[in-house]
Amino acid sequence: MADGVSTADQTINLSSLVKEAFIDPIRSVLIIDDEYPTWEHVFGAGFDHSEKGRWKDKEDITALIGQFRQKSKAMTIDIHDGEDNSDIGTYLHQSDLLVLDYQLEKGGKDGARAIGIMKSLFKNRHFNLIVMHTAAEPLLEPFQTVLDALLRPSAEVKDLGPAGQAVIDGLEEDADSDPELKDIWNRLKATVGRDIHFLYRQQVQKGKKATGFVSSEGRLIAFRELCTKAKLDRDKQVKVFCRILQTYEQTYDESDDRPLDIRWSAPDQGRRPWI
């Protein structure tokens, strides 16, 4: 469907179908950003846009709202500062699109409050879209933090990880007599980064198993070379690999605010990131 299908009236492709299904139906927008004044600030407590460090520039706020107004002057736009999540459910229930600031906490960098709001929406069938924005650099770091909050444990990693720990225990016992095995656990872990963990999870969605991934993935050359020096056959390499991935998944669980199925394109994969 990448090239599109021509009809008498239009060309139908993936982009047009996504627009028809998710963009065109938008009639209401909720902006959650601690640097945007709520309507209560504007009409009640007062809004001094010249108060430095408190609000985004007036022009930026007007420009964002104007973009939505250009789509439809009848579009409903609401603003929440994200400071009190207890009443936010009433806002979310009535909105088709959420524009969410990743860093709602002053000086915070982990996005905990925004991620909490986002996860609550997985229990809400009304929601279609969330646009999360951040000034954090590099973008890969907050992107991976969000993924960590959404993914469930991998069944294969959970099954093979304990066997991998047994292999590591054996290597560490042999380290006293074999200099090649000194600090072997940390050295092996250093060859498998979070990016490889997420890449593996994407390959699992396509039906690939850890054995095939460990055997063929180009980013695992250093891992395979170190395993060879440690005299580990492919079966043990796979088990150790899964044990390493367990360290990334130790905070994962099966709670209902984590989707059963999730797809994504990461910032380091050459396309615009999405989840």
| pLDDT greater than 80 at residue 40 | no
| pLDDT greater than 80 at residue 44 | no
| pLDDT greater than 60 at residue 5 | no
Percent of the chain surpassing pLDDT 90? 48
- In this prediction, residues 61-80 reach a mean pLDDT of 83
pLDDT, tens only, 123-177: 766 666 899 999 888 999 999 999 999 999 999 999 999 999 999 999 999 999 9
* pLDDT computed for residue 1 by the predictor: 40
Per the model's pLDDT, the better-predicted residue between 30 and 214 turns out to be 214
Let me know: does 131 contact 102? Beta carbons within 8 Å.
Answer: no
* pLDDT computed for residue 2 by the predictor: 46
| pLDDT greater than 60 at residue 270 | yes
Let me know: does 42 contact 30? Beta carbons within 8 Å.
Answer: no
Q: At residue 44, what is the residue type?
A: G
Question: How do the domains of the chain map onto residue ranges?
Answer: 5-151, 155-248
CA angle (14 as vertex; 12, 19 as ends), nearest 5: 85
- In this prediction, residues 40-69 reach a mean pLDDT of 76
Looking at CATH, the fold of the domain delimited by 5-151 is given as: Rossmann fold (3.40.50)
| pLDDT greater than 60 at residue 45 | yes
The beta-strand segments (E) located in 33-121 are: 76-80, 97-101
CA angle (139 as vertex; 83, 199 as ends), nearest 5: 115
Which pTM was predicted?
0.85
- b or e along 41-71 (b: 16 or more beta carbons within 10 Å of the residue's beta carbon)? beeeeebeeeeeeebeeeeebeebbeebeee
Give the bridge partners for 99, in sequence order: 31, 131
* pLDDT computed for residue 190 by the predictor: 98
* pLDDT computed for residue 85 by the predictor: 64
| pLDDT greater than 70 at residue 213 | yes
The Cα 178–Cα 272 span in angstroms is 47
